């Protein structure tokens, strides 16, 4: 099948059909330079918050009842790692790899909007996972919090830390091997 035109993450309107075609590798997704600029500007805002030490929920404070607990500049990276690890409590059979690819497509698109403060290398690594079929293994059961998506999303991102597992070339391997 010939691939259709390029989809631009963070810019184009994402429909269910487009998301599936991206997840199934029937369409290529890219991020344009203008979008990378917005992403970088958003990341710089987060970095300024960290550098100044002004309290902003979830960046340099605890969560929930710990929202008044300050996190030092040095510990903000540790906080992010600990959040991922503490939320990766899923169990059961993994979701179908196509569902995990679809999850990646949706997260890449939403992060490419430029509102989250994500770093360029992190977003590029998510794109790499999708483009190279190194798909995170996401358990089918379990969640944390009211939104119901924290555990699956934590598992989706564990390989960014060299943790969790990915489905790669027909086998489940440790995230640290990528």
Collapsing DSSP states into helix, strand and coil, what is residue 20? helix
Fold classified for 7-177:
Fumarase C; Chain B, domain 1 (1.10.275)
Residues 64 and 143: beta-carbon distance below 8 Å: no
Q: What whole-number distance in Å separates Cα of residue 55 and Cα of residue 67?
A: 9
Q: What whole-number distance in Å separates Cα of residue 150 and Cα of residue 107?
A: 13
Per-residue pLDDT reduced to its tens digit, 18-64? 999 999 999 999 999 999 999 999 999 999 998 898 899 988 898 88
Per-residue pLDDT reduced to its tens digit, 99-147? 999 999 999 999 999 999 999 999 999 999 999 999 999 999 887 766 6
Chain centroid to Cα 32, Å, comes to 19
Q: Annotated catalytic sites, by residue?
A: 57
Domain definitions of the chain by residue range? 7-177
């Amino acid at each position: 099948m010939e691939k259709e035109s390029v989809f631009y993450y963070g810019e184009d309107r994402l429909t269910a059909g487009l998301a599936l075609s991206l997840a199934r590798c029937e369409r290529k997704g890219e991020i344009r330079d203008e979008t990378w600029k917005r992403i970088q500007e958003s990341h710089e805002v987060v970095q300024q918050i960290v550098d100044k030490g002004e309290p902003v929920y979830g960046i340099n404070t605890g969560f929930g009842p710990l929202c008044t607990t300050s996190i030092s500049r040095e510990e903000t990276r540790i906080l992010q790692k600990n959040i991922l690890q503490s939320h990766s409590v899923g169990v059961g059979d993994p979701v179908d790899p196509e569902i995990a690819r679809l999850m990646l497509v949706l997260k890449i698109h939403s992060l490419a909007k430029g509102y989250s403060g994500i770093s360029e290398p992190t977003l590029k690594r998510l794109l790499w996972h999708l483009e190279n079929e190194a798909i995170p293994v996401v358990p089918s059961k379990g969640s944390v919090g009211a939104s119901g998506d924290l555990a699956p999303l934590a598992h989706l991102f564990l390989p960014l830390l060299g943790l969790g597992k990915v489905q790669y070339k027909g086998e489940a391997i440790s995230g640290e091997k990528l």
